[in-house]
Structure 1
């Protein structure tokens, strides 16, 4: 069995120096660290994580709390996880995923076991009960997302205002004047205070009003089938629409399918722009979706770094908002004049939610 003494002899340092490194109790120089780690690799030495945690009072493990029962995993979500894990690994931490509910009950139970040094909170609600749980447990944390009251909260998030402004401007500059947003369903109890959906819809209403365009908002849950149904509603209730913005990535796939199933060409008849998506998902449709590319890699890294700074006794960085960026595909073009169907027209109040 390989011991610390063996590692110390191979690296040419004292046993105490090896202990300092393994237990993170005192700093060692980069050159000494490299010699010790090389010796451990050559000898096949395995760190005792439990002993290290007891000695340093830190586990070197952080958790990403994700409400998996309320929010589906998607390719966009995976980017947050992987970039957060890379940022943690770069600072000699391990990242674990905690699929806990939004109510904070499971989170409280897990925090009580002392398994992690800190938490990165995802899928943040405007009034998120998990924050009180973290504060009561005195556990350092950072948010990828925003609550309504942000006093004293380290956070990063998507810049929804800029994202929506750039998306609408792109369509407007191409000549579109009849837009529809297929948004999230805020009547769904899982999402009625879900920050991204609320902020996106608020931004859309503000931006189209600034352009003097009518407001058309169609609620839609986070499934492909719901996207198909939402597309049917736009066709039936707002046939004058020429461009559709879609918030949820699963719904966007359904919108394209629904329009094509109804016999419409994309983008000749309707342009479709996904507001938050990653290239892998966009490539699933034919034609490939034009999208606002979700800044998952940036936010996963920034949110994790904000937590790690606190764990090292430093002040967290200032809040950062990162907009999604336009990534051209093949589902957006200038509007083509369409002959209205007999009897077709606007149905219902344009200013109200559809």
Structure 2
């Protein structure tokens, strides 16, 4: 039986000016729905895994439209219809040396009205095998951090595999707590973590020396958080807004594995690339539990393909990702 996955987070309306226009130039916007945990849920469902997404949206056309989008991918949304508005973010596509830019408009959203005690997590997790969350949710408010903790305690007690993307967004931590005051208490429940060594102190509160290697840092994380079984990280090299080289690594407590590197030119949309990787590594570890190299290669190929797709969600299929892993990339037409 396929692993049954639950993800938890906010879904946002994304508005982007077309044709790489700046926000100050915009007279119209391309509309998408997404955000970290919703993107992961949609990718995993597209890969054929049963996925539930827990969230809150307003009882209006935008709320219904966001849930319909998730259902179109095969995700089962469990949404609390409350509050008055769907959170929004505006994304200005960068080009060449001009970076992209995000402007958030998500305060007082429906998701922000969720509180500890509102969700029956035991019922939610009853038939689940895996729970995924990200650092975005606890960054939004102390109340959502407490709700996230409540979910993790129940998931852990029920024996679910738990994964997290640190997803450190400094602009979101505005309620008087630093990430390293909140995140360690949550990460202690995780089996799989996506993050970078630069986040060691500011997110996890784990000291790091400038000379420490990735293997040293991740090994130290496992000492601080002994439940961790795998730590993975993505790497961008020679990067500007239009072209990147991407690769990834995974530390399994014994060895640090490195993926192949992909050179990506003419980037269409890099938003959601980390979520595409997160979905890929979850799928990879479920599909090849004893072959971490294969899982890693699947995940980095998934994130590579996401850069060619507009919107937050990776539309690449398992077959397309496997084809890229096998060397059938390069823009050849599939006939």
User: TM-score when scaled to structure 1?
Assistant: 0.29
User: TM-score when scaled to structure 2?
Assistant: 0.30
Higher relative contact order (CA 8 A, sep 6+): 1
